[in-house]
């Protein structure tokens, strides 16, 4: 099972984001746009895991999440990794917040205790909204960069939980399915 831990935005936000992304999609139809129901904030990618590990992963994430309280997360500016000139991923940014950093740290520590390799790069929270295929037209990336400067979407969401998700690959792209929810601030 290809697993990851995520913060899933509420459906109302997904609808608003889909509407705000319409001009971006129109400006860059050559990109692979993420459908609204698949938009999420990845907390930790776990990769292919045997089904036998699910119970220990659930317990570890439940324990880490229980130490934190629900916190608001501000979403807004548009960006690209590594940048718009050489973009591979287009994302919606998450404002820096110490509570989110601490939550990520505790989840990361729980994963390392389970034997996962430590994440080798800094946590840069974002919601991936598009992937840029090889050979994407440069004029589309320039248009996105111009639109990014005045992207009108801003929202704040409450983070009530960390979700254990499975990614099932298909010809139409990945499908994500919720396996377990670890509520923040819950008694374990």
Domains of the chain plus CATH, in order, are: 2-183 (3.90.1140.10)
| pLDDT band at residue 188 under the 50/70/90 scheme | low
pTM over 0.75: yes
Question: How many C-beta atoms surround the C-beta of residue 105 within 10 A?
Answer: 12
pLDDT in tens, 74-86: 998 999 999 998 9
Could you give the angle at the alpha carbon of 67 between the alpha carbons of 64 and 70, nearest 5°? 105
pLDDT in tens, 35-60: 988 999 999 999 999 999 999 999 99
| CB proximity list for 90: less than 8 A, separation 6 or greater | 24, 31, 78, 79, 80, 128, 129, 130, 131, 132, 144
pLDDT in tens, 88-111: 999 999 999 999 999 999 999 999
| pLDDT band at residue 187 under the 50/70/90 scheme | low
pLDDT in tens, 7-17: 999 989 999 99
Residue 21 clears pLDDT 90, i.e. is over it: yes
Averaged pLDDT score across all residues of the chain: 93
* 3-state SS class at 132: coil
4 neighbors 165 (Cβ within 8 angstroms): yes
How many residues would you count in the chain?
Answer: 188
């Amino acid at each position: 099972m290809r697993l990851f831990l995520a913060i899933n935005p509420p459906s109302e936000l997904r609808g608003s984001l889909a509407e705000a992304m319409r001009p971006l999609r129109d400006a860059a139809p050559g990109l692979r746009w993420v459908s609204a129901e698949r938009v999420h904030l990845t907390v930790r990618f776990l990769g292919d895991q045997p089904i036998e590990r699910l119970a220990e992963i659930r317990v570890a994430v439940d324990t880490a999440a229980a130490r934190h309280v629900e916190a608001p997360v501000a979403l807004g500016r548009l960006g690209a990794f590594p940048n718009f000139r050489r973009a591979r991923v287009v994302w919606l940014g998450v404002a820096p917040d110490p509570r989110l950093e601490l939550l990520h740290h505790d989840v990361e520590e729980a994963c390392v205790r389970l034997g996962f390799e430590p994440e080798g790069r800094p946590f840069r929270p974002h919601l991936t909204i598009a992937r840029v295929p090889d050979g994407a037209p440069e004029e589309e990336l320039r248009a996105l960069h111009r639109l990014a400067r005045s992207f009108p979407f801003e929202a704040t969401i409450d983070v009530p939980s960390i979700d254990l998700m499975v990614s099932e690959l298909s010809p139409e792209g990945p499908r994500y399915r919720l396996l377990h929810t670890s509520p923040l601030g819950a008694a374990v």
